[in-house]
Amino acid sequence: QVQLVQSGAEVKKPGASVKVSCKASGYTFSNKYIHWVRQAPGQGLEWMGIINPSVGASTYAQTFQGRVTLTSDTSTSTVYMELSSLKSEDTAVYFCATYNWKSYFEYWGQGSLVTVSS
């Protein structure tokens, strides 16, 4: 069965960077694009970007341009989301999700809580 397993919770200071991993299993890694979405406490869902894991090509939301980097490691079927210059407003749960070509997010990771606090 398809699974996306994300890395654990992180606590970071303002100005630091965080790197969250999303390890895929149960399907051919290169066959599904992966999106990242975040959710601040008690808030809605915010799309961050997408990566084609087979070639590493990515597209980012304008809001995060210059601060977010998505990378992939085909040898371990893992996608990474790195967010830099962290602010308190970046405190959120970060999700990875696979894209289904019928246009929806099909499988989701369990989420990774990132807390930014001095």
Which residues are near other proteins by CB under 8 A? 35, 37, 44-47, 50, 59, 61-62, 95, 97, 100, 102-106, 108-111
Residue closer to other proteins (CB basis): 13 or 106: 106
Q: C-beta of 115: minimal distance to other proteins in Å?
A: 16
What is the rounded distance in angstroms from the CA atom of residue 63 to the CA atom of residue 43? 16
- Hey, how many other C-beta atoms are within 10 angstroms of the C-beta on 104? 9
Q: C-beta of 5: minimal distance to other proteins in Å?
A: 12
Q: C-beta of 12: minimal distance to other proteins in Å?
A: 21
Residue closer to other proteins (CB basis): 28 or 100: 100
Q: C-beta of 4: minimal distance to other proteins in Å?
A: 9
* SS3 at position 89: helix
What is the rounded distance in angstroms from the CA atom of residue 14 to the CA atom of residue 86? 5
Q: Name the nearest CA neighbour of 53 among 26, 82, 22.
A: 22
Residue closer to other proteins (CB basis): 104 or 118: 104
- Cα 90 from chain centroid? 13
Owner of token pair 């980012």 = 60
